[in-house]
Structures are given as C-alpha cells and as structure tokens.
Chain A
Amino acid sequence: MISLPDKFKQRLGWILLLALIWQLIAASHFFSELIFPGLDKIILTLFTSLTNGNLLKQLIFSLIIIAQGLTLTVILALSLSILAYFSELAASLLETLTALAHPLPGIALMPLILIWFGAGKTAILLVIIHSVLWPLILNLRAGFNAMPSIYNLIAQNYCLTKLEFLFKILFPAALPYFISGLKISWARSWRALISAEMLFGAINSLGGIGWYIFQRRVFFDLPGVFAGLVVIILIGIIVEDFIFARLEAKTVQKWGMSK
C-alpha cells in the first residue's frame, strides 16, 4: 500500500469499522430493509446510477453551478471587502448589510426568490451566493484587519500604489483567512445547492445531485437516497482532503501562516 499519512489510515480504519457495523445492523434485519438498506444494495444502486443513469451528469451539473456561484461570490466578496477596507462609509454599509443578511438561511429566502426570479438557474445561483457571500465577507474582512500594521508602513515606505499594495501585500497576508472562508463557502454552497435543488426540482432537464436524491426519495428508493449521500460525502472528502489540503500545503502551511 502507498504510504498514507496516519490521519488517513486512521480515518480509513474508522470508515471500515462504521461500514462493518452498518452492514451488521442491516444483516440482522432488526430494522426493515426499507429503513435500513445494506451496503451491498447501496453500492449496487450507486453503481447502476453511475453507469446507466444520469447520476454522473447530474453531479457534474451540480458542480458546475457551484463553481459558477463560488466564482461570482468570490469576486463580489473581494470587491466589497476591498471597498470597505479603503472607505469607512462603505465599511459601515457593508457591516449593516452583513448583520441584516447573514442570519437569514437561504432556504427562508426561497419563496421570495421563487416569486421574483422564478425557479430557474438564477434562483439557485442566488441562493448559493446568499449563503456564501456573507461568511466570505466576514472572513475576508477579518483577514484584512489582521494584517500586521507594519505592512502598511512598508507599503508607504516602498511607495507602493494602492493596486500593488492589494496584490503584493494585502491579499497574500489575508490568504489564510481567505482559504478558511473558502472552505466555509464550499460547505455552505453545497448545502444551499442541494436544498435548493430539492425544493425547486430539476432546473435543467437533468437536475443535479439534490434532484437525484429527491427523485430517489419520491420513488421510495432508500438505497438510492443513500447512494446520493455517499456521492456527496465522497465529493466532500475529495474537496476537503485533496483540493483544500493541497492548496493549504502549497501556501499558508509552507509559509508558516496557518491560522
């Protein structure tokens, strides 16, 4: 076996153990199979959905929407946070907006979004942006404010323009906060997307992973529901442990800036 870090070995061990327990419970038939399907059934459903069904396309569709939503939100959050960094007026406006909007769950806004924008892709994007924008702004602003004040003096001393200051100093200095904000954003956008899909139904002809789960549910196919959940977990692990972990290893960890 390839030498995995201990953390992963342990995690793998736990997952195997939990799977074993799961399978034992399922095999005991203590619960009805309709409530507690065995792993064999779940994996079989997952496999057929991936090969014969549309699950893969639905997954890609969901990921594309998330990518679009996140990109838009990152641009928006960066612009607003930078504006607030340089202007106190903008800062107080942004603080007010954040205080008003941040506590609102995206789901609660859905009826409103439905009426204003219909149940299209715009609606889903809006739900994603709403659930991601505010925490990202909070993180970014915390990151900007946590920048050592000495950098300001250095920027003055080395006669940097505002733009140079942004890209050469402020952004890299706030990167640890940005990355942790991005992590939160990712998790929240995933949730927002899935709940939005389950509420709005199929947005394009196929729908996404949330729609897959909803479909499995209405057809009373619990192994299918679990298969959808397994996919979500797998994506979560891949993004968290590979993409983000790698990003952090290459940046903030290498630089000794981990928060």
Chain B
Amino acid sequence: MLKKFLLLLFVLLILLTFTACQANHQSSQQQVGLKKRKLVIAEQYGLAYAPIQLIKVKKMLENAEPGLEIEWKQLSNTAAIREAMLAGRVDIGFMAIPPFLIARDKGMDWQIITGLAHCPLALMSNQSAVNSLADLKPENRIALPQPGSIQHILLTMAAQKEFGQADLFDNQLLTMSHPDAMNALLAGHEVTAHFSSPPYLFKESKIEGIKSILTGQAAFGGDFTFIVGVSKSNFYQENPQLYQVFMQTLQKAVAELSHNPAQAAKNLAAVYDLNQQELLTYLTWPGMKYSQDVQGLKRFADFMTFQGYLTSNNFKVGNLVKTNSIFKIIGETEGND
C-alpha cells in the first residue's frame, strides 16, 4: 500500500514539475512578446465612478488608442475586484483607500495610480430618537457594504474619537449592498442606520424622517479621497504607454465633470438611469469633487495600523502611490505631529 502511494506521489510530482516548467515558459514568452492590446477595468456602481462611466460611454480610450480592446467589469463589491486583480483578470480597479491598504498589507504588490472622487458619505438613520452615534443602542443594526470597507473604517474612526473604542459598533454591523440597505432603511425594520454613499445618500436625504447622524468628513476629521484607481505594479511597468494613455484620458474625463457638469450629466443620464436634471443636481451636490489628487491616505494608513487592521507599520505614502505629474498627493504630512 505504502509502495503504491509512493509511486503515485512520484508520478504526480513529475507531472507537477513538468506543467510548472511549461507554464513558466509560457509566461516568460508573454512578457517578452507583444505589447498588451487589451485593457480590463473594474469598477462599481455609484456616482463616484462618473469619470469612468464617461470614458466608457464616450469611448474615450478607444479614440485615444485606436485598436485597443477594452473590457469593462462592473463588480458588486470591492472584494470581488481585488480577487479579480489578484487573479490577473483585471488591470485597473477602483475602490476606496482602506480595502486597497488591507490587500497591500497582506502582500499584494499594487499601487494607487490615481484619485477619482471626493464624495459626501454619511451615516443615515430612520429613527427620530437617534440623532448621533451616542443614541445607537447595542441592538440597533448598522448596515454597510462590508467590514474593512471605507464606511466601516470611518465608523471605527468616529467611535474611537467619541468613545475611545474603535470596535464599539463592530457587533452591530449588517453587511448589505447599498440598494438593499436603502430599502431596509425605508422599510423601517431591521436596520437603524446605513452608512451611505452617493447616489443612495442623496436619495435617502430627500426622504422625510431619514437624516444624517454622522458625516464621513466629521468621522475622518477632514477631506479625503473616496475612490482611487489601483493597479498592480507590473501593469504600468510592462505597459508604460498604455498606462500613460489611461491617465491622460481620465484627466480629460475628470475635467469634463469638473468644468462642464451639465454636458457630463447629459452624457451620463442613461448610464445612471436618472433624468438629466436630477443627475446634474447630484453631480454638483456640495462635497462632490472629481479630482485625480489623492488625499487622506496617510491618515487612513496610520489609523488602520494603530487599530491593528494593518500589521506592517512601515507604510510610506511614496511607496503606496505611483506618482504622476497629473495629480498631487495631498496631506502626506498631516497626522505626523
């Protein structure tokens, strides 16, 4: 019996080594070979992604780089984007800073390549008796996309600031997508508060009886970039030209949203399934700012390290961001004093 096993093991090992060699061979060929002619971009639904939507509907990348094939993936959560990028199926992904940091901390070799948007975020409640974090009782449920999301980290920041205990609300979380959470909030049972982002935040704030009890800015203690663009370092190293094309295209899209929101609203109304006027209101809502600058990275990294969400504590903002003359890093020194 043992003999048989050993024999089998031997055969399998040989097979294993053989396939490994072949695969290595193939991948090295790919590296040396043709320039990449396909770009895969992953994003999520939400107003923060408006520049990406603009690039998509106006075929801006196709126009800038004829012959380039582009695949858009709209995934339902950050974890899925990360996993797709880890598996090498996505070149550029968009997400908030904390999920980027968590994966980076676990050894994922990637960088922020651009900022995308600042957005108002807020914890919304449907109960008249709940007007601040202090009013939340242990049995009240707080809906947010997932633990480790920016909404979760902002909540822990506020809890730390107000009560000195970051994980105070961790046992009250309910993982829900934004639309589900909004429906639960409207239905009025099960969920007491929802850490919301646009456009759900704007829709919720228009409803009687639902109000903000904590804003993202208050929790963070300032402005921060909500969504950033991320890629693995081998992407821009191996495709410098493609990277540059993408950055310049994004710059144009951001510019249109910043300087000509009415035009952008016209272009995007169909994408967001909103009428043009409503979309324009949303795009120009106080606090909405499309920009490639990256702001607040250091404070997120410091706080998450301090709270143990990140284990390696020698993050340097310079290593986390692939710098480019197109954008600035804002607030690198803040929080150091």
Contact = CB atoms under 8 A, between A and B. Distances in A.
A57 to B, nearest CB: 12
A118 B190 CA distance: 6
A13 B5 CA distance: 8
Interface stretch (A130-138, A170-178, A201-209): A201-209
B106 A220 contact: yes
B175 interface: yes
A34 interface: yes
A53 interface: no
* Most chain B Cβ neighbours within 10 Å, of A13, A32, A200, A218: A218
Contact of A34 (B79, B107, B141, B147): B107
B171 A220 contact: no
B108 A218 contact: no
A88 to B, nearest CB: 42
B86 A35 contact: yes
Interface in A200-254: 200-202, 205-206, 214-215, 217-222
How would you classify the secondary structure of chain B's contact residues: helix, strand, loop or mixed?
helix
B180 to A, nearest CB: 7
Contact of B87 (A35, A218, A220): A35
B187 A115 contact: yes
8 nearest CB pairs, A to B: A201-B175, A118-B190, A205-B171, A220-B103, A218-B146, A218-B148, A220-B106, A201-B174
Contact of B9 (A20, A25, A221): A20
Given A30-B20, A201-B176, A217 B79 contact: yes
Interface residues of B, number: 41
A33 B103 CA distance: 12
B23 interface: yes
B82 interface: yes
Given A200-B174, A202-B174, A219-B148, A13 B190 contact: no
A34 B5 contact: no
B176 A119 contact: yes
Given A32-B86, A205-B172, 18 more contacts: A17-B8, A21-B9, A24-B16, A32-B107, A34-B86, A114-B184, A115-B183, A118-B189, A119-B174, A119-B191, A200-B175, A201-B176, A202-B175, A206-B171, A215-B147, A217-B79, A218-B147, A220-B79
B107 A119 contact: no
10 contacts: A34-B107, A34-B108, A114-B180, A118-B189, A201-B173, A202-B175, A218-B149, A219-B102, A219-B309, A221-B106
B13 interface: yes
A13 B3 CA distance: 12
